[in-house]
Structure 1
């Protein structure tokens, strides 16, 4: 088994089924696509919910259809207050106007169809939508996609921040402060079109070159490591590997070290993560998990991750 990243996609023979089977990122400017944006209650598709789905259907560069729905879940529709202040979506509006989640995701998946997907930092949206399609037995969201954020970074190479709002200001696009799904779709399309008008061959090449192609299981020279750890979830982090993982322990340790992390033999006061096999995650007789739980109860910021969760975090980094 080997841990590698090919065209921005994590590749692990023998454990590929643990990772979301999303499509491939293809930087460019397709004429026909569906542009998506979702509003959520937080950053994690495991713990948080979609509150609103927005999308544009684009043909030959022109919007031909739109999608906009608040999403209502059967158990809870509470929204953090700071998000309500940001976009105006609250529990009352979802309960009143929201479409039941099973209907909303079915219609959303049908709206997307087999199109190339476009979005801003779109991997975030893809994770939420992918997990809902899986939950409701809909066609897997394996569409190839274009991330407008990567295009922006390739154009504004000397800028530290490239948020959607940053790009709108630089491009002279009127600001929309609604932060709603459909509004953000319209803003993203405006930035996408403006970048298309300005892009030259050098920008396209830079975007393609920034898509990761690396072997994580082979030790890297220090100079390579320094250039690759950008936004790595393990940079300067201490990691303990415990239990029975499908991954080869040696290759996993090399991958973590390549990403700027440090592998420890035992859980101690500066351990950041404990990685366990999927079947070990709820064991009560694993010393490393028990030690981590005790330290967490004492206030230490230590996280325990299953192999599947770890691999999806790594896949998200591969696509960044």
Structure 2
């Protein structure tokens, strides 16, 4: 894969982010140099968490990179840096309220390329753990490509998937919810270093219960494939009877809004139920994901006057603490590959 060489650290004004991405035959973004997703319980690892202006690497920016280095199950070093977005106006009031990061905090922030390089040096070739870690890695991977540096290639472990198998009856699987269920302090959640430490404690709890026995880990993984009756969606059903209960769409209620670029809404809804999820017509307290068509998820949508009724309601529900995420069509496709 060849990349354009830049004379500066800024993204090219003539090229779009999507010009750097590789698409498969179905038009989905693929990341061929991305590390492998592992199922194991290492003693040495890096835990990573990002804070961003939104959930789509195609149009959103990284605000903060936080990480902790763990050796022999003990935290030995921390990494925390702010990144200054190319356009500070992308830092919406909604994100400021959610993360506590304000424009003033970013006045002296460094350029993303410098922070990413330093983080990659901090991480080395260690396994990277995270809570829904593919979200964080995809941001770093795509940002590196558009800045003309080698993308991150470390192997990954998603602690959220462990949590879904270990705790089977929670109302949701937000990091804070899982931590509270395990009596782990979740103070400071939605900031990078705090979330890293919470994730570390959740992982260590699960690891200590499951143990380091390879057979026990294998059995733990096998049980993650669960048989259940197909979900009874009104018009969209599935013939599948086996689902990976650790998949991010399993048991989640998805609502679509706007026109999708790569498929029609019926096809997208079919994918949801095929992964064990449910579809909803409108945003309610049961909704977990509001998926915006790519044309609706753009910088302009951050203007309150440009947001749909569904998005405004979803933001209000998220601010009240509901387990709901507002994602783009592209991020939805990324989730299918996890």
Which of the five TM-score ranges fits, normalised by the shorter chain? 0.5 to 0.7
2:49: which partner in 1?
37
* Alignment length (residue pairs): 257
User: For residues 177 and 225 of structure 1, do their structure 2 counterparts lie closer, same or farther at Cα, with a shift above 3 Å needed?
Assistant: same
Contact 1:33 1:117 in 2 (8 A): yes
Tell me the distance in 2 between the aligned counterparts of 1:176 and 1:61: 21
Q: Which runs of 5+ in 2 are unaligned?
A: 1-22, 227-236, 275-290, 296-305, 311-327
Q: Does the residue aligned with 2:239 lie in a helix, a strand or coil?
A: helix
How far did 1:164 drift? 1.1
Normalising by structure 1, what TM-score?
0.65
Normalising by structure 2, what TM-score?
0.62
| Counterpart check, 1:115 vs 2:92 | no
Contact 2:83 2:111 in 1 (8 A): yes
User: For residues 125 and 211 of structure 1, do their structure 2 counterparts lie closer, same or farther at Cα, with a shift above 3 Å needed?
Assistant: farther
User: For residues 93 and 300 of structure 1, do their structure 2 counterparts lie closer, same or farther at Cα, with a shift above 3 Å needed?
Assistant: closer
Contact 2:35 2:154 in 1 (8 A): yes
Tell me the distance in 2 between the aligned counterparts of 1:136 and 1:26: 27
Could you give the per-residue CA deviations for residues 96-121 of structure 1, whole angstroms, max 9, x where no partner exists?
3x112121111112222211110001
What is the RMSD computed on CA atoms of the aligned residues?
Answer: 4.1
User: For residues 112 and 137 of structure 1, do their structure 2 counterparts lie closer, same or farther at Cα, with a shift above 3 Å needed?
Assistant: farther
1:223: which partner in 2?
239
2:5: which partner in 1?
none
Tell me the distance in 1 between the aligned counterparts of 2:188 and 2:169: 26
User: For residues 236 and 101 of structure 1, do their structure 2 counterparts lie closer, same or farther at Cα, with a shift above 3 Å needed?
Assistant: closer
Q: Does the residue aligned with 1:123 lie in a helix, a strand or coil?
A: helix
2:79: which partner in 1?
67
User: For residues 241 and 315 of structure 1, do their structure 2 counterparts lie closer, same or farther at Cα, with a shift above 3 Å needed?
Assistant: closer
2:168: which partner in 1?
157
How far did 1:52 drift? 0.4
| Counterpart check, 1:28 vs 2:40 | yes
| Counterpart check, 1:205 vs 2:219 | yes
Tell me the distance in 2 between the aligned counterparts of 1:210 and 1:120: 17
User: For residues 139 and 113 of structure 1, do their structure 2 counterparts lie closer, same or farther at Cα, with a shift above 3 Å needed?
Assistant: farther
Q: 1:57 aligns with which of 62, 69, 76?
A: 69
**Structure of higher RCO (CA pairs closer than 8 Å, 6+ residues apart):** 1
Tell me the distance in 1 between the aligned counterparts of 2:29 and 2:98: 35
Q: 2:333 aligns with which of 309, 314, 320?
A: 314
User: For residues 48 and 310 of structure 1, do their structure 2 counterparts lie closer, same or farther at Cα, with a shift above 3 Å needed?
Assistant: closer
